[in-house]
Amino acid sequence: MKPTHVRLRRACAAAAVAGVLIAPAVAGSASGATVSAPAPAVPVSATPSPDADTPFPQLTPAVAAQLDAAIRQVMRQTKVPGVTVGLWAPGKGSYVKNFGVADKATGAPMTTGLHVRIGSETKTFTVTALLQLVDRRKVGLDDPIGTYIKGVPNGNRITLRELAGMRSGLFNYSLDENFIKRLQADPEQSFTPHQLLDYAFRHPVQFAPGAKFDYSNTNLILLGLVVEKVTGRPLHEVIAKDVLAPAGIRRTVFPTSPAMPDPYAHGYTNQTASGKIEDATGWNPSWAWAAGAMISDLEDLRSWAHTLATGTLLTPATQAERLKTTPMNLQGDGYGLGIFNVQGWIGHNGSIPGYEVLPVYLPQAQATMVILLNTDVSYKGQEPSTLFGEAVTGIVTPDHVYPGHKPYVPGRS
């Protein structure tokens, strides 16, 4: 997708793959982001198969030098202020490296341990909380959303499964022109979930439930409200106690204010009223809520990528439902329930003004890759996190290049 107006259309999230976004985010997708044809869901496994051994190199100094050169080349092209890249695979060693600056004003370098906003990676936590309720038989994936939330267009037909799988047909509130103008006019203001739904429900439904894949933040706002209604607790509390704590993740937060926990990287965006790059660190993420408000760091995202892909917080049956994918817009990719499988890499990416993250897991090699950026400024219509992912995987997993382009060639413009 090539946004033609303001890129708040992609801000919060990105199930973005390839240079075109599957999912904008402030995000959602209007053109180029839908896939029609309800293809049958394809089950995938997040456990390694002995018959499908994917070569993964020893992360030697020579390989590290290749990665360094590729990452620096992408940095020169994209002018990303700072990036952190982590790679881990059993028996192969690890590669963890910081590049550039965390604060352009002071020149402070990027370091491991810095907090960043994670945009649509938040969706993986919200959907996990929902699926835990499925395991407890408090909700059913095929329950209509209207059972829990009144006033939803097509609410008697759209299921929780279709919301989590981005096949509801509901308009993405973050594509609404009035919403974009209001957010850009005062990015520090607070929004309530119901205010966000009001923007979405002013628009007609886009298609019949289940007919297409269309990335919409509206879906996750509704699922967040379902979690709150069924548990009787605020979403941030549910995620903290029911998801983060049992996962052993301690530096990840669902914020209730614009504040960033120390230490943090400053984030830079051009999704501004003027179109100029500004420091978006203190922008209020309430507009993204269950779809994209959370904050994390490198080590927590490393741990979460494995937990998410292998389903350790869910029953095997529910994890199997989560990993059944339907096509997005690239050959070799699919979207499940708040999760994607792109060329074998399982996880989700995230983009919100000022930041992008890409935490993914490759079951065949039991490898984890986490990329953190302190900007969301696109390069020639492509997400910078996608370009870094392509550069890294082109070296270490040429048979599984994220997101499916040809392997990265240093020096290519």
Confidence band of 47 (pLDDT split at 50, 70, 90): low
Determine which helix (DSSP H) or strand (DSSP E) holds 82, and give its type and residue range.
Answer: strand 82-89
Distance in angstroms (rounded) separating the CA atoms of residues 67 and 59:
10
What's the alpha-carbon Rg for the chain, to the nearest Å? 19
**pLDDT at position 411 over 90:** no
Structure tokens at 33: 């982001």
Identify residue 292 by its one-letter amino acid code: G
Mean pLDDT within 381-405: 94
Give which of 397, 320, 339, 325 is closest to 365, Cα–Cα: 397
Q: In the prediction, which pLDDT does 329 show?
A: 73
Q: Is the pLDDT of residue 123 over 50?
A: yes
Q: How many CB atoms lie within 10 A of CB 245?
A: 11
312-356: per-residue pLDDT in tens? 999 999 999 999 999 987 777 899 999 999 999 999 999 999 999
- Count of H helices and E strands in the chain? 12, 15
**Bridging pattern class, strands 326-327 and 295-296:** unpaired
Question: Could you tell me which residues come within 8 angstroms of residue 181 by beta carbon, excluding any fewer than 6 positions away?
Answer: none
- Report the pLDDT value the prediction gives residue 53, as an integer from 0 to 100: 60
Alpha-carbon distance of 266 to 310, in angstroms, equals 32
Asked if pLDDT for residue 49 goes beyond 60, the answer is no
Q: What rounded mean pLDDT belongs to the chain?
A: 88
pLDDT of residue 283: 98
Integer Cα distance of 150 and 400 in angstroms: 43
Residue 273 DSSP class: S
Contact 95, 86 (CB under 8 A): yes
At 306, is the secondary structure helix, strand, or coil?
A: helix
**Is residue 38 predicted with pLDDT exceeding 90?**
no
Taking the model in full, what pTM does it have?
0.90
Structural contact between residues 215 and 11, judged by C-beta atoms closer than 8 angstroms: no
- Beta strands per DSSP E along 128-250: 212-214
Angle at 404 between CA 402 and CA 407, to 5 degrees: 80
**Residue 18 above 90 pLDDT?**
no
Q: List, for residues 242-259, the tens digit of each pLDDT value.
A: 999 999 999 999 999 999
